[in-house]
A and B are shown apart, each in its own frame.
Chain A
């Protein structure tokens, strides 16, 4: 059953017409542009500059080959994203669908990265083909996992998030071992609109026009989709053909934008929503207004970005749209109706074990073996080594802290993941999605800017503080809905996008902080000292012993709100307490292992797949599964490409992401 969470025709949320919206944006953008351009060439000389550019002086060259194409590409890219977003949202009946949330942009990006690193000649001729192939593969994965039309908007966005994170991990590994391309790739990923000629404009313009014409031709069948498949069929329309065509157009157009300028987040999400909030309800209106509004919005954003110099350069436009768009998503949340539709993936255990504690003890035995291996077996100059008891000092010095930290982080993420999944009744929720990991990263990012030569203590303080702050913000935006899981997840997606954009910009800027950020964000245990490890272990132990306090809530909440209420439970209070506990645990884990890993997602799932259904054994089993995964990831990360190392979080994500996608696909 498709869900319409947009306001209905009658309540116009914004008191401006779409035309006024476009005009005001474009007008402002024009003002800024004229100001910038007159600084370069006085207005009276513009015609001369344009007609005689090739023989002209430097300012007129910049005028014609840098500034004008930049304005043009910003309008074109914005229009293309607006159009693609509108098409995706219409076809998928999902107001959260857009190139970034569906993994399309990331897919295109990763395909281009892979081509650049291994087959650069592909980019000379088939740049667009490469991007579209990547985008299609990623989109196919998302749709396959979320079963596109049938599932709830949130399942699609969450599948997109997992695909995005997995692809991000793959591209992280690719970059880690080709770091001469590092700044190049990150510059590109942050979505910069600098132009040095008209080639990108000439590339994008015809594609936008074609896509626009095709979507106008498809307007009637697409509009009928609002009636649902049965309704459309009763009018004699076969939906099967139109849907893929419209999807293909949207995916190809988004991929072209990535090929031309990189990833520009949130325009495809915000524009269609704002246009319909401004009163453009009918599809035909939206198809006309969304490109117009998207174009003027990105034009304005790009002009604003150019007003503020950061050193020699400016904020990348893609980062700016993410920074502006993510809060917009939070502001729009109250306007979205009926957002509490239950996600499609069921929470029930596949089978039920009679003796869950037996399974738990077997899990413990596996964990013990993993620990033994991680501590004792390693590699050195010539091959494998097994450390005996007499090597305790060596093991304690190099492996002990890392293993303890991995163990604790895995425990914390397993516990937090179980709590979030049971609280939201959604098997796809995880601490990563809650946005706490992202919040913690934000603190580390800020620290590298403010205080480049920081130590462990300030890092811990910064991550904990910002994790707490992001928790407060998230609780504030979702408080009015009794911490509805959907609200929390959307807020998490928004925060995650900001963090990704900011860290990409910082890494591209270079400087000494970037290697730290890269290795921390990829989940390396390399820098962990005994202090950190013991701190994480304390938090993990306390959490483990406190978890029985939550068991009743966690047993009841998955039954649904009404059952919980009828059992006399204060849902808001319960969810608030659980959210705070999850935030603390996630912050503790993030300091050690960074924001990336699917352990919080996979561990509770593994525990349930074994057949554990009651809350308390589920919590314990997930903690064991999580710590086993992390310990194994840390160990294998040290062995696989010795003497190089693969960060534990990255390795866990590389295995966990695809594993989880397959599970989602099978169970959907």
Chain B
């Protein structure tokens, strides 16, 4: 396949001789390869000055950042699940699936001859191998510190800079604007602290998102207090028994993930005396939210912050 692309006159696609020697043997391969050409060519046509970029993304945070800025990776990991979690990107869906995020298919990445590989520290163990394929950008968006939104925005800006013709700077500006608009619109005394949880389907345990989690960063950004102040693991979340939630007074509980799993859990919990005695449940302060990626990036942050603002701004602030 790379051979075909070379013939089309894209010298950057066949800079490494050895790739051309892994010969596809089926007719279907050739047809698929041929179907790829207009796609690359189309990009070139639309952006006459742009160098066609062959981008590969190994983590979902990079994938959603790239796609939201108009840069379609040719391949991402866990493609099908990513697309069902982010249906908005279906129109510009990446063509190739690279397999599991913890073991992206190295042979396939090499055969795809990417010009750049985006990944996170998740694939740290194979970073040297990746570097031998192409340029590697290792993002550092999550964990530890509480400036995750700034890091996500910074990363998005580097994407715009890296693909001057391809990436749409106005999309980035719109996202940053929304985020800036939502900064500290809500405030702790007027609005109750929030408790972001993800329920296990047996109804006995929950993942809680603390200050250092990605969701916790968004909560802090819009000005809300996080009801879960206890220490968590390095990625900012922890799993606890439901009974631990009972100790948290006057918070609004945001149950993330509105799928069948959460429904099952809530059905089980409906009859649980302890669950019904949790202050937030008792006060009718439980809201079902769509799933928020545990390791999201700028688009998720924008979406979640807007959901939070919509949720709270609708209502009259508490007196006092």
- Which chain A residues have a beta carbon within 8 Å of chain B's beta carbons? 53-54, 58, 61-62, 64-66, 116, 120, 123-124, 176, 181, 183-184, 187-188, 192, 194-197, 199, 311-313, 378, 380-388, 390-391, 393-394, 397-399, 452-453, 508-512, 515-516, 518-519, 524, 526-527, 529, 638, 642-645
When the two chains form their complex, are residues A313 and B110 in contact, meaning their CB atoms are under 8 A apart?
no
Q: Does B258 contact A (CB under 8 A)?
A: no
- Which chain B residues have a beta carbon within 8 Å of chain A's beta carbons? 1, 18-19, 21-26, 28-33, 96-103, 105-108, 110-112, 121-122, 124-126, 128-129, 132, 143, 200-205, 207, 230-235, 237-244, 246-247, 249, 260-261, 264, 267, 271-275, 277, 279
A313-B240, A527-B126 as given contacts; A388 in contact with B100, CB under 8 Å: no
A51 CB, nearest partner CB in chain B, Å: 14
When the two chains form their complex, are residues A66 and B205 in contact, meaning their CB atoms are under 8 A apart?
no
| Bound: A66/B18 CA distance, A | 64
A196-B203, A526-B103 as given contacts; A58 in contact with B246, CB under 8 Å: yes
A312-B240, A644-B99 as given contacts; A184 in contact with B125, CB under 8 Å: no
| Bound: A397/B272 CA distance, A | 56
When the two chains form their complex, are residues B247 and A313 in contact, meaning their CB atoms are under 8 A apart?
no
B237 interface neighbour in A65, A120, A397, A510, Cβ under 8 Å: A510
When the two chains form their complex, are residues A386 and B25 in contact, meaning their CB atoms are under 8 A apart?
yes
B248 CB, nearest partner CB in chain A, Å: 9
7 contacts between A and B (CB under 8 A): A123-B202, A183-B207, A192-B241, A313-B238, A516-B125, A527-B125, A644-B97
| Bound: A630/B263 CA distance, A | 43
Which of chain B's residues have a CB closer than 8 A to the CB of A526? 103, 106, 126
When the two chains form their complex, are residues A120 and B264 in contact, meaning their CB atoms are under 8 A apart?
yes
| Bound: A54/B202 CA distance, A | 23
A49 CB, nearest partner CB in chain B, Å: 13
When the two chains form their complex, are residues B107 and A398 in contact, meaning their CB atoms are under 8 A apart?
yes
When the two chains form their complex, are residues A194 and B241 in contact, meaning their CB atoms are under 8 A apart?
yes
When the two chains form their complex, are residues A311 and B126 in contact, meaning their CB atoms are under 8 A apart?
no
When the two chains form their complex, are residues B105 and A643 in contact, meaning their CB atoms are under 8 A apart?
yes
A515 interface neighbour in B102, B239, B277, Cβ under 8 Å: B102
Which of chain B's residues have a CB closer than 8 A to the CB of A391? 18, 21-23
Which of chain B's residues have a CB closer than 8 A to the CB of A383? 24-26, 28-29
- How many residue pairs link A and B with beta carbons under 8 A? The number is 205
| Bound: A141/B23 CA distance, A | 47
When the two chains form their complex, are residues B121 and A512 in contact, meaning their CB atoms are under 8 A apart?
yes
Look across to chain B and name the residue whose beta carbon is closest to the beta carbon of A69. B274
When the two chains form their complex, are residues A58 and B247 in contact, meaning their CB atoms are under 8 A apart?
yes
When the two chains form their complex, are residues B241 and A645 in contact, meaning their CB atoms are under 8 A apart?
no
| Bound: A519/B274 CA distance, A | 38
B167 CB, nearest partner CB in chain A, Å: 25
| Bound: A188/B201 CA distance, A | 11
Which of chain A's residues have a CB closer than 8 A to the CB of B232? 311-312
Look across to chain B and name the residue whose beta carbon is closest to the beta carbon of A261. B204
When the two chains form their complex, are residues B233 and A311 in contact, meaning their CB atoms are under 8 A apart?
yes
When the two chains form their complex, are residues A382 and B243 in contact, meaning their CB atoms are under 8 A apart?
no
When the two chains form their complex, are residues A120 and B260 in contact, meaning their CB atoms are under 8 A apart?
yes
When the two chains form their complex, are residues B108 and A643 in contact, meaning their CB atoms are under 8 A apart?
yes
Q: Which of A61, A511, A519, A643 has the most CB of B within 10 A?
A: A643
A196-B204, A385-B22 as given contacts; A66 in contact with B243, CB under 8 Å: yes
Look across to chain A and name the residue whose beta carbon is closest to the beta carbon of B234. A511
When the two chains form their complex, are residues A643 and B99 in contact, meaning their CB atoms are under 8 A apart?
yes
| Bound: A519/B99 CA distance, A | 14
When the two chains form their complex, are residues A194 and B204 in contact, meaning their CB atoms are under 8 A apart?
yes
Look across to chain B and name the residue whose beta carbon is closest to the beta carbon of A57. B277
A65-B243, A66-B241, A197-B272 as given contacts; A384 in contact with B25, CB under 8 Å: yes
Which of chain B's residues have a CB closer than 8 A to the CB of A511? 233-235
A316 CB, nearest partner CB in chain B, Å: 11
Which of chain A's residues have a CB closer than 8 A to the CB of B249? 58
A59 CB, nearest partner CB in chain B, Å: 9
B1 interface neighbour in A199, A381, A516, Cβ under 8 Å: A381
When the two chains form their complex, are residues B243 and A196 in contact, meaning their CB atoms are under 8 A apart?
yes
A66-B243, A311-B238, A643-B98 as given contacts; A386 in contact with B103, CB under 8 Å: no
B282 CB, nearest partner CB in chain A, Å: 10
Which of chain A's residues have a CB closer than 8 A to the CB of B28? 382-383
Which of chain A's residues have a CB closer than 8 A to the CB of B132? 397
